């Protein structure tokens, strides 16, 4: 399948305070963020031209940078306005939004306290990938070899670029083996998350999901938990061991890209996407597209 490379597309990207033509948004090969992973980002989505939970994402964006020991030189309000401008300028209705911040090229060593902090915001067309019935068939998930790190060894609550290295490796391996994604365990061998989405299970009418202490407590995860509780569904956040997977009935992942996507298989374990998955797919669609819910 031929896909137009991201550096060759048309449109506009907001970079360091101004809109620039898409193909002119460049950084030098000796940027600190490229060599030493001093970079953080956000994954957001606009529905009907409006970014879902934009402020929460902007707040996390700034917090991610602080955890990497640098400060984004724009306020939450300024970031929010820039994101809205990029979506509008590119003329997208439903799209993915990617803010990113990184240390520049003034210093090229482990220490780079005086490097300039750069910020860019791009967006691209990204409609919902599947309809409800297609989603309800469920995806197949592998079990990754790499694990999420001990929170004492990495800034796990930052959406830091460096923390996604093992996610890319794990997803590539899973796709080569015929799976859509991979389940990652934590450093103690407990269920954690998938490579770019949080994971939830159901049993006896309740949702069970891992405690988000060594991985991101995703904004979509928080939204889905809130939607479930509003519908009277009990949500239990706890430690989950891999051998427990055989006891669960439904499984689904959630994230900006995945939204709410049921899982039919994790390695040797099988699940039957059912009523709770369907309800949360529908409730999430209503939450992200309120104008359609009211129609």
Residues making up the chain, counted from first to last: 295
Indicate which CATH number applies to the domain containing 103.
3.30.470.10
81, 98, 125 - which closes a domain = 125
| 61 and 190 part of one domain | no
What is the model's pLDDT at position 134? 85
| 141 and 287 part of one domain | yes
Range(s) of the domain holding residue 187: 132-293
Among candidates 146, 163, 143, 159, which has minimal Cα distance to 263? 143
| 186 and 226 part of one domain | yes
Helix (H) or strand (E) holding 293: helix 290-293
DSSP 163: G
pLDDT along the chain (295 residues), means of 10: 86 98 97 98 96 98 98 98 98 96 97 97 84 90 98 97 98 97 98 98 98 97 98 98 98 96 97 97 90 39
Residue 1 located in a structural domain: no
C-beta separation of 135 from 262 below 8 A: yes
Provide DSSP, 190-231. Answer: -EEEESSSEEEEEETTEEEEE--SSS---HHHHHHHHHHHHT
Q: In the structure encoding, which two tokens stand for residue 228, read together?
A: 């479930």
Q: What CA–CA distance (Å, rounded) separates 36 from 293?
A: 45
- Provide the whole-model pTM: 0.94
Indicate which CATH number applies to the domain containing 168.
3.20.10.10
What is the model's pLDDT at position 133? 86
| 204 and 70 part of one domain | no
| 96 and 170 part of one domain | no
How many structural domains is the chain composed of? 2
What is the model's pLDDT at position 47? 95
What is the model's pLDDT at position 128? 72
C-beta separation of 189 from 241 below 8 A: yes
Residues tagged active-site:
159
What is the model's pLDDT at position 2? 63
């Amino acid at each position: 399948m031929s896909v137009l490379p991201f550096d060759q597309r048309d449109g506009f990207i907001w970079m360091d305070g101004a809109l620039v033509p898409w193909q002119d948004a460049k950084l030098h090969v000796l940027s600190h963020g490229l060599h030493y992973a001093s970079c953080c980002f956000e994954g957001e989505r606009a529905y009907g031209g409006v970014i879902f939970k934009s402020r929460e994402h902007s707040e996390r964006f700034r917090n991610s940078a602080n955890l990497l020991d640098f400060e984004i030189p724009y306020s939450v309000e300024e970031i929010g306005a820039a994101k809205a401008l990029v979506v509008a300028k590119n003329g997208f209705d439903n799209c993915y939004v990617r803010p990113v911040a990184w240390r520049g090229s003034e210093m090229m060593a482990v220490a780079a306290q005086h490097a300039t902090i750069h910020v860019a915001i791009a967006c691209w067309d990204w409609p919902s990938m599947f309809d409800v019935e297609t989603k309800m068939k469920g995806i197949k998930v592998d079990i990754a070899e790499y694990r999420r790190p001990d929170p004492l060894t990495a800034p796990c609550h930052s959406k830091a670029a460096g923390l996604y290295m093992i996610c890319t490796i794990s997803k590539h391996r899973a796709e080569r083996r015929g799976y859509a994604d991979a389940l990652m365990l934590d450093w103690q061998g407990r269920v954690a998350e998938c490579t770019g989405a949080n994971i939830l299970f159901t049993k006896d009418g309740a949702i069970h999901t891992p405690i988000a202490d060594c991985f991101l407590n995703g904004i979509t995860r928080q939204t889905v938990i809130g939607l479930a509780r509003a519908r009277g569904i009990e949500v239990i956040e706890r430690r989950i061991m891999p051998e427990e997977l055989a006891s669960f009935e439904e499984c689904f992942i959630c994230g900006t890209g995945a939204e709410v996507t049921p899982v039919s298989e994790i390695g040797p374990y099988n699940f039957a996407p059912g009523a709770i998955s369907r309800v949360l797919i529908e409730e999430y669609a209503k939450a992200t597209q309120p104008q359609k819910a009211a129609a």
